[in-house]
Amino acid sequence: MGAYARRAHLPPLLQHPHAEVAALCRRNPARLAEAAAAVGAPRTYASWQDMLRGEPLDAVVVSTPHDLHYEVARAALARGLHVLVDKPMTLRAAHARDLVALAQRQRLTLMTAFNRHYEPPFTKARELLDDAAVGELRLIDAYAAYDWDLWLDPADTRFSGAAAHMLHGVSNEQAALLHETSFRAAAAANGGGFFADVGAHVLDACLWLARSPAATVFAQMDSPQTDLYAALSLRLASGVLCSLACIGDTPVPRDFGFHLYGATGAIHMRWGELRLERELRDPVTFDNAAMPAAGSAAGNFIDVILGRAAPRATAHDGLRQVEAMEAAYQSAHEGAPVSIPPA
Ligand SMILES: NC(=O)c1ccc[n+]([C@@H]2O[C@H](COP(=O)([O-])OP(=O)(O)OC[C@H]3O[C@@H](n4cnc5c(N)ncnc54)[C@H](OP(=O)(O)O)[C@@H]3O)[C@@H](O)[C@H]2O)c1
């Protein structure tokens, strides 16, 4: 349970009328005590194995470094607990398939915490695509540019002062928590660099918006172990083509953009804004006020367990993203396109 869990997962769990935060787990005792006091969690654990062994739980949120996702999620499912696991669900497609199969056998809810599935403009874009607002989807052109390299050096002081604006609405306290993280500096052990971490959202969003797994992936990266730059070309199983660019050390404010081209129109998305352009019609611009958020990953997780909602980010979404991510790193290593066999 680290900075992201505290910022994104704990608030909706605490607010949910039918959820109770029973215990928190992390190794740093001072940070653990501080988080437990802040949220009123009755019990704390320094070892996730002890927590799973000793604590009466119904469900867990796994928001650890990427290399722990599979092991912790698997142990929790094996113990009969519902699991919400952060992105990327696992580092290997075989592990993601194993989790999906185990959850099915155990009849448990397994979800991936892809927060774009709850946030505009992504939710609005999906709604428009489902309503055939731009006709049959043909091509997605997407990019994300972040100051992710700041995480690579914990001594880097650019989190405060002149570059603080890059954090876009993140408070100084949250920035300090982000700065504390160390697992991103061990990029290779955590599946790769920027593309495995933030690029997971870009890749997932393409597959989710197109409602299709990837079929062929060709990736070029500056370094397949600790990539800051990745350029990908994908053909999805549905036939949709995707072009993705991930920039992990932007010297200017964070940015992302998605351009979705259909047979009769196009959707253009950036921060908090979506523009719909159609043949022979005036363009329509939606801002955040016209695109309400669809809740949160943790809130949806509880509602799914209770049988009150459908999952907005499923285990299969997690599996598809991991399959395409694994193919991308293999492609970057080999310098050739990699095909993903159909499920
Ligand atoms: N969807 C999004 O937009 C988004 C944004 C940010 C992060 N995330 C995801 O959230 C997850 C956590 O990222 P973060 O940014 O929150 O990083 P973080 O602050 O470093 O959190 C990771 C936490 O895992 C704990 N941990 C590490 N090893 C552990 C172990 N062996 N046993 C128990 N706890 C352990 C760490 O605490 P100790 O060192 O004290 O054990 C730390 O608190 C990642 O999967 C990341 O991809 C998602």
Q: What is the mean pLDDT of residues 64-69?
A: 97
Question: Is residue 65 packed enough to be buried (19+ CB in 10 Å), middle (13-18) or exposed (0-12)?
Answer: middle
Residue 189 in any domain: the answer is yes
C-alpha distance from residue 141 to each of 25, 133, 138, 258, 322 (Å) = 39, 18, 10, 6, 20
Residue from 6, 25, 27 to probe ligand 1 pocket by mutation (most atoms less than 8 Å from CB): 27
Q: Residues 247-278, buried b or exposed e (16+ Cβ, 10 A)?
A: bbbbeeebebebbbbbeebbbbbeeebbebeb
pLDDT at 163: 39
State the Cα–Cα distance between residues 33 and 25, nearest whole angstrom. Answer: 10
Residue 309 in any domain: the answer is no
Q: Is 88 in the same domain as 131?
A: no
pLDDT at 180: 67
Q: At a CB cut-off of 8 Å and minimum separation 6, what does 282 contact?
A: none
Model confidence over 132-173: pLDDT tens digits?
999 999 999 999 998 887 666 545 444 433 333 344 455 566
CATH number for the domain spanning 79: value is 3.40.50.720
CATH number for the domain spanning 217: value is 3.30.360.10
Residue 279 in any domain: the answer is yes
State the Cα–Cα distance between residues 255 and 164, nearest whole angstrom. Answer: 15
pLDDT at 158: 40
Q: Is 104 in the same domain as 127?
A: no
State the Cα–Cα distance between residues 234 and 321, nearest whole angstrom. Answer: 12
Ligand 1 geometric centre to CA of 28 (Å):
12
Among protein residues, the one with the nearest Cα to ligand 1's atom 35 is 26
Residue 322 in any domain: the answer is yes
- Asked which of 61, 95, 115 is the last residue of a domain, the reply is 115
Q: Are 203 and 140 in contact (CB under 8 A)?
A: no
Q: Is 164 in the same domain as 37?
A: no
pLDDT at 161: 36
pLDDT at 185: 78
The per-residue pLDDT of the chain, averaged, comes to 91
The runs of H, that is alpha helices, within the chain are 3-4, 10-15, 29-39, 48-54, 66-78, 93-106, 122-130, 172-180, 194-197, 199-210, 297-305, 315-334
Among protein residues, the one with the nearest Cα to ligand 1's atom 3 is 115
Q: Is 86 in the same domain as 210?
A: no
pLDDT at 177: 58
Q: Is 210 in the same domain as 189?
A: yes
Q: Which helix (H) or strand (E) holds 286?
A: strand 284-287
Q: What is the mean pLDDT of residues 112-134?
A: 96
Ligand 1 geometric centre to CA of 332 (Å):
26
Q: What is the mean pLDDT of residues 6-20?
A: 95
Comparing CA positions, the residue from 200, 171, 163 lying closest to residue 3 is: 171
End-to-end CA distance of the chain: 33
Per the model's pLDDT, the better-predicted residue between 177 and 41 turns out to be: 41
Model confidence over 204-223: pLDDT tens digits?
999 999 999 999 999 999 99
Ligand 1 geometric centre to CA of 307 (Å):
28
Ligand 1 geometric centre to CA of 65 (Å):
5
Which range (146-150, 175-179, 322-326) has the least confidence? 175-179
Q: Which residues line ligand 1 (CB under 6 A)?
A: 1-5, 25-28, 31, 48, 63-66, 68, 86-87, 113, 115, 181, 183, 197
State the Cα–Cα distance between residues 228 and 248, nearest whole angstrom. Answer: 4
Residue 298 in any domain: the answer is no
Q: Are 93 and 328 in contact (CB under 8 A)?
A: no
Residue whose structure tokens are 């989807």? 137
pLDDT at 55 over 70: yes
State the Cα–Cα distance between residues 222 and 74, nearest whole angstrom. Answer: 33
Q: What is the mean pLDDT of residues 22-27?
A: 96
Residue 209 in any domain: the answer is yes
Please report, rounded to a whole number, the percentage of residues in the chain having pLDDT higher than 90.
77
The amino acid present at 8, given as its one-letter code, is: A
Q: Is 130 in the same domain as 279?
A: yes
Q: What is the mean pLDDT of residues 290-294?
A: 88
Question: Is residue 2 packed enough to be buried (19+ CB in 10 Å), middle (13-18) or exposed (0-12)?
Answer: buried
pLDDT at 288: 82
Ligand 1 geometric centre to CA of 32 (Å):
13
Q: How many domains does the chain have?
A: 2
Please report, rounded to a whole number, the percentage of residues in the chain having pLDDT higher than 70.
91
Residue 300 in any domain: the answer is no
